Amino acid sequence: MRFLAIGECMAELAPAETPGAFRLGFAGDTFNTAWYLARLRPDAFVAFCSAVGTDPISDKMTAFMAAAGIDTTHLRQVPDRTVGLYLISLDNGERSFSYWRGQSAARGLADDPAALDAALAGADLIYVSGITLAILSAPARRTLLDALARARGAGQIIAFDPNLRPRLWADRDEMTRTIMQGAAASDIVLPSFEDEAVHFGDADPIATTARYAAAGAKTVIVKNGASDVTYLDSGIIDTVTVAPLAQIIDTTAAGDSFNAVIFAGLGGETPLADTIARACRLAGQVVQAKGALVPVNPADCTP
């Protein structure tokens, strides 16, 4: 499998064990999924498409990606730019974020259409998120959506996590309209019900699956925290029960790691319901540690 994630990787300040202290890492929704996938499927070619600056922290981020086994061929360098930064705050396991991303080079990841097409060429599975779309200018967003539509038309699989973040959008209408455009270009959609209920008014996860299926998605997997995962595949709707956890320390990257297991299982013989159950187990490991990228046991969840 040749996998390409498109999006923004940022410098992460996550709470350390010492109260009031933070540790520096690198993370971002689509990148997190690539990082976990590289561990689950060492036989896969995993690449990341974005942009970074030409400063030392951009170089450090690029080296971190390469050391993680992620190809950085399509990580463009943009002069006079740097990487975004976010800080995680925790309250009983639930996280909130403070962002500094005004000078982020990733905001221009789709400014070069030829470079974008070169990145997409040859990938079997291409993954983007609502955050990927949100950080772009309107023309660049259109460039990316058109490129994804062409790739899907050529037989490449497009996966999309809506990852609704209202603060990144001008208004709710722009967000919901663009999210549905992203879904319309995708084969697989991986929404989170809590966000979908708030911003789209979905009454239940089945309504979420129906809306994204109507947009053109073939497979819709609705994450729902500790509640059942509802999925639609090949016209069939079913659920997978999530095992309860004794404790939750940090929910950062729970959905990103979940998505990685789903992608790891594509094309194999494992039934989708079993792959979803394994995805829940990996997410359960991730939320019991601090930060987005944590050591996990792939043996428990690799299809």
Using an 8 Å Cβ cutoff, are 264 and 276 in contact?
no
Catalytic residue among 55, 195, 256, 300: 256
Q: HSE on the CB side for 19, CA within 13 Å?
A: 0
**CA distance between the termini of the chain:** 14
Structure-token pair, residue 131: 């955050």
3-state secondary structure (DSSP) of residue 231: strand
Q: Please indicate whether residue 59 is annotated as part of the active site.
A: no
Q: Which amino acid is at 212?
A: Y
Which residues 6+ apart lie within 8 Å of 173 measured at CB?
none
**Contact indicator for 104, 82 with CB cutoff of 8 Å:** yes
- The structure tokens listed for 117 are 């097409």
**Cβ–Cβ under 8 Å, residues 119 and 49:** yes
Query: Nearest-5° angle of CA 64, CA 67, CA 68?
Result: 90
β-pair type (219-222, 229-233): antiparallel
Distance CA 266, CA 51 (A): 28
Neighbouring CB atoms inside 10 A of 268's CB total 11
**Annotated catalytic sites, by residue?**
256
